[in-house]
Structure 1
Amino acid sequence: MNHISPIWIFLFISIVGLHSNHAQTLKRKGLLGIMMQTLNDSIVTQNNLKVSSGVYISTVMPNSTFSNLGVKQGNVLTKLNGRSVNTIQEVLGITGQLHEGDIIEVEYYSGNKRQNKSTSLLGRPIETFENANVSYDEVVYEGNVLRSILVTPKHKTKPPVIYFLQGYTCGSVETVSNDNPMKKLMLDWVNAGFAIYRIEKPGVGDSKSEKDCSQISFEEEFKAFKEGYNDLLKKSAIDTDNIFMFGHSMGGVIAPLLNHIKLPQGVITYGTVGKNWYDYMIDLYTIQPKHFGVTDAQIKEDNKINLKFNDDLLVRKLSGKEMSEKKEYASQFNLEDFKRGQYIGRDFKFWQGLVDVDIPQAWSRTKTNVLAMHGEFDIQAINEKGAQKIADLVNKNGGKGTFVLIENADHGFINFNSMQHNVETLARGNMGLYARDNYNTEIAKETIDWIKRNLKS
């Protein structure tokens, strides 16, 4: 069974629909309609589960494929189309190849009772905003056809636009539920008069690619965001002189790398890092565990393995096969993932390409307006030093950087009373349910006010 992962994945298989001004070549992907967490000891204990492996279902949306199957919040998914699933990434790897109308078979546990059911996969509903139009399009390059989404406020001509750059996971950037904190953030932006542009990663959502997202390198992922930016610059419906990038988590690493195409009017980051990835991983192993009550002595003991792994992966750049043969890693890592060349849902090539990026240098070259934000209770971003460093680097090199601490906020735009409150909610496995009613409104307020102050007239 998995223990608490050093990088928490708050993943939402979000499903929305198609609305476009021209003929589409992409088939619509299906709707699972769930929020989930990889099962770990804490979730098993907190929820008194009888199953020790699988994926914990924290939310089931009404009128979705999984609600039709009878799956309920608190159930544990163990098989999907005949294949065992133990992680969110394994679920995504299977569902990423399915389209509307395909048959889906599941095995899941409700309490200690095993259920086996099947149904036709529902298609994604249309993403809607009361005060905006949603246009779905395609970005075609080098064997990829990626889904792009442009949301434009109604009754506003050529609005400023926010290019939303998502984090490292291979989940869809579409938003299905109005209860989703990301959807609420975008709704606030739209109501403030801003357009929003997004692009799916290769193999994610409706996108059609030769490789699944979990198989691509960092360079291939960056290429997708670059092609998205080129596409955005061609949009006649928005003001291309007032483009603001919003880099969430890993998206904050991508943002400064796009500046050579066209310097945006501003860049906003939330929950990202200001140091190079190797150094961030050291923090991940030495600082983050303290939030979960791990003692200094245990951290020191664990890091005899963790820090060696960090060097093997990021410095020596060993292959997954080579890493899987190192039996000392079995106590801390999943060697079966290593055999497939995978680490926390991404290919070894992704992490080994990322470590070559000089993140501080990229920010030093960002000579524009930058708002670097950190959520007070953000476990993934470790602490506010990363955002502070970004603002400092920008200011020292000809840009205009501002650091803002968002009180009570976590990594996923959710409001908490304390870091411990965040940890306990993660451990209980009900983050999705909690998130519905606890969106942190200060993130929108800060970004909207800052963008308005920095608009190019």
Structure 2
Amino acid sequence: MKRKYISLIIIMLLTQNIFEAQTLKRKGLLGIMMQTLTDSIAMQNNIYVKTGVHITTVMPNSTFANLGVKQDDVLTKLNGSSVSTIQDVLTITNELYEGDNIEAEFYSGNSKKIKSTALLGRPIEAFENGDVNYGEVVYEGNVLRSILVTPKQARKAPVVYFLQGYTCGSVETATNDNPMKKLMKDWVDAGFAVYRVEKPGVGDSKSSKHCMQISFDEELTAFKEGYKDLLKQETIDADNIFMFGHSMGGVIAPLLNEMKSPRGILTYGSIAQNWYDYMVDLYTKQPKHFGVSDAQIKEDNKVNLKFNEDFLINKLSGEEILANKAYADFFSANELNFRQNQYIGRHFDFWQNLADINIPEAWAKVKTNVLAMYGEFDIQAISPKGARKIADIVNKNGGKGDFIVVEKADHGFVNFNSMQHNAETLGNGTYMIHARDNYSFLLGKESVKWMKAKVKK
């Protein structure tokens, strides 16, 4: 009897903890874009600090703006802890919420400064023609922030499940000049609800592991749990769910299709080949957009292609890669990240796990409507072959695939005059400024037109 009583108390405590976890506090907003400081970055920007995090952008009226931090300053400590990588900053700020005190040690030129302020909360989203509902997706080790925007006065609206790309950035879009916000506004104005779920540790989400530490399978689980939550929403039409897979989201979409086939899947800037093969193309073809000669690409690929095999197929750790002198020399700018098993913004587990996913096979199982879109000036997706192949695979296996090129658009829903114009803004740091005023209205128009034609009456 005593044992049963103790068990009952444990169950009650566990239930209480789960209940308490379901009330997410509002996370703070630093208001910066940053990169790990390297020797080359320091030299280019006349920085004399040896280690730290290089601040590339400071948003107006943000926490870091209030601290007096400016572009090209170097953050060296946060709340008394030294920081040398983006991951260090995220680890500290992941436990901070609106109103918490934050102290930063940073360098402006040769001047060391230490300042503190109250952490500002993330702005709340607003849509002129939509009601924004903040919710939570709860599963083991995670309480993820969900956001559902429903058209005003709509009942049982068709809905778009927005599946974001590979980065660990938030999908909240409080500013109206954000191209992603403008795309979602087009959908809401056309009568579609929009659903999103933050990744583990991102935005308001409270997780045992941050997005930058999880594997691809763990990320897929987060989107699956989001899909379960979406299917339970009473204000949407579960027979008219459309998935919009942006970039890596276009890899997630066909895997979610195995849970419940949606009315349609739209992909933008995605691929239909396995990740190892895509990376070979990335090393071989993408540099040409940035003016790298064929001879230099061939020379670089003596290391890149062997690294691709050791990294994705042989699954070496960061320490094992750095033990190879050829790799250590070639990737010297990535040494700190490699020692933390980080590569291009994600953990080694993410990329190595992703390399085991059979992407063409996943698309072969999709029997629903699919619109595969490619932006004419998309540098990241490399070429329209990926989108065209998605449509071809779907059509060959019993689905209904369409393919279109969105004129002038790039990977981030932004219009450019040419591929070179896109590369120039990426290279000189003016991309975000250009993006504010150059949203691809054609992308919104084409996606709305296709979905309206596929809605089940």
Is TM-score (shorter-chain normalized) higher than 0.5?
A: yes
Answer yes or no: is the 8 Å Cα contact 1:245–1:267 preserved in 2. Answer: yes
Q: Are positions 1:177 and 2:178 aligned together?
A: no
CA RMSD of aligned residues (A): 2.3
Q: Deviations over 1:153-177 (max 9, x none)?
A: 1011111100000111111111121
Q: Are positions 1:50 and 2:46 aligned together?
A: yes
Matches of 1:336 and 1:37 in 2, distance apart?
12
Other structure's SS at 2:61 match: coil
Q: State the partner residue of 1:245.
A: 243
TM-aligned CA deviation for residue 215 of structure 1: 1.1
Q: Which amino acid aligns with 1:301?
A: E
Q: Deviations over 1:295-345 (max 9, x none)?
A: 111111111111111111111112233223222212332233222222122
Q: Which amino acid aligns with 2:404?
A: V
Change (3 A) 1:42 1:337: closer
Answer yes or no: is the 8 Å Cα contact 1:138–1:148 preserved in 2. Answer: yes
Change (3 A) 1:418 1:455: same
Other structure's SS at 2:236 match: coil
Q: Are positions 1:310 and 2:308 aligned together?
A: yes
Matches of 1:401 and 1:357 in 2, distance apart?
21
Answer yes or no: is the 8 Å Cα contact 2:321–2:328 preserved in 1. Answer: no
Other structure's SS at 1:78 match: strand
Matches of 2:97 and 2:128 in 1, distance apart?
27
Q: State the partner residue of 1:8.
A: none
TM-aligned CA deviation for residue 66 of structure 1: 1.9
Other structure's SS at 2:239 match: coil
TM-aligned CA deviation for residue 32 of structure 1: 1.6
Matches of 2:102 and 2:453 in 1, distance apart?
50
Q: Deviations over 1:243-296 (max 9, x none)?
A: 000001111000000112110000001111110000001011111111111111
Change (3 A) 1:39 1:410: farther
The total of aligned residue pairs comes to: 433
Change (3 A) 1:269 1:309: same
Matches within 5 A, 1:1-400: 24-36=22-34, 49-51=45-47, 57=55, 59-72=57-70, 74-81=71-78, 82=80, 88-110=86-108, 113-333=111-331, 334-400=334-400
Of 319-328 and 172-181, the range deviating more from structure 2: 319-328
Answer yes or no: is the 8 Å Cα contact 1:218–1:351 preserved in 2. Answer: yes
Unaligned 5+ runs, structure 1 = 1-21
Matches of 2:214 and 2:175 in 1, distance apart?
28
Q: Which amino acid aligns with 1:245?
A: M
TM-aligned CA deviation for residue 63 of structure 1: 2.4
Q: Which amino acid aligns with 2:45?
A: L
Change (3 A) 1:113 1:411: farther
Q: Deviations over 1:219-266 (max 9, x none)?
A: 111001001001100111000000000001111000000112110000
Higher helix share: 2
TM-aligned CA deviation for residue 85 of structure 1: 5.2
Matches of 2:176 and 2:324 in 1, distance apart?
46
Answer yes or no: is the 8 Å Cα contact 2:54–2:75 preserved in 1. Answer: no
Unaligned 5+ runs, structure 2 = 1-19
Answer yes or no: is the 8 Å Cα contact 1:414–1:438 preserved in 2. Answer: yes
Q: Which amino acid aligns with 1:332?
A: F
Matches of 2:102 and 2:21 in 1, distance apart?
28
Matches of 1:80 and 1:430 in 2, distance apart?
28
Rg comparison, structure with higher value: 2
Matches of 1:358 and 1:390 in 2, distance apart?
13
Other structure's SS at 1:161 match: strand
TM-score normalized by the length of structure 2: 0.89
Other structure's SS at 1:239 match: strand
TM-aligned CA deviation for residue 88 of structure 1: 4.7
Matches of 2:181 and 2:38 in 1, distance apart?
28
Answer yes or no: is the 8 Å Cα contact 1:189–1:448 preserved in 2. Answer: yes
Other structure's SS at 1:241 match: strand
Of 414-423 and 242-251, the range deviating more from structure 2: 414-423
Matches of 1:50 and 1:128 in 2, distance apart?
41
Answer yes or no: is the 8 Å Cα contact 2:55–2:75 preserved in 1. Answer: no
Answer yes or no: is the 8 Å Cα contact 1:216–1:347 preserved in 2. Answer: yes
Matches of 1:44 and 1:448 in 2, distance apart?
45
Q: Which amino acid aligns with 1:292?
A: F
Matches of 2:301 and 2:414 in 1, distance apart?
30
Q: Which amino acid aligns with 1:51?
A: I
Answer yes or no: is the 8 Å Cα contact 2:74–2:108 preserved in 1. Answer: no
Matches of 2:153 and 2:137 in 1, distance apart?
26
Matches within 5 A, 1:421-436: 421-436=421-436
- Of structures 1 and 2, the one scoring higher in RCO (CA 8 A, sep 6+) is 1
Change (3 A) 1:441 1:30: same
Matches of 1:55 and 1:429 in 2, distance apart?
17
Of 423-432 and 55-64, the range deviating more from structure 2: 55-64
TM-aligned CA deviation for residue 118 of structure 1: 2.1
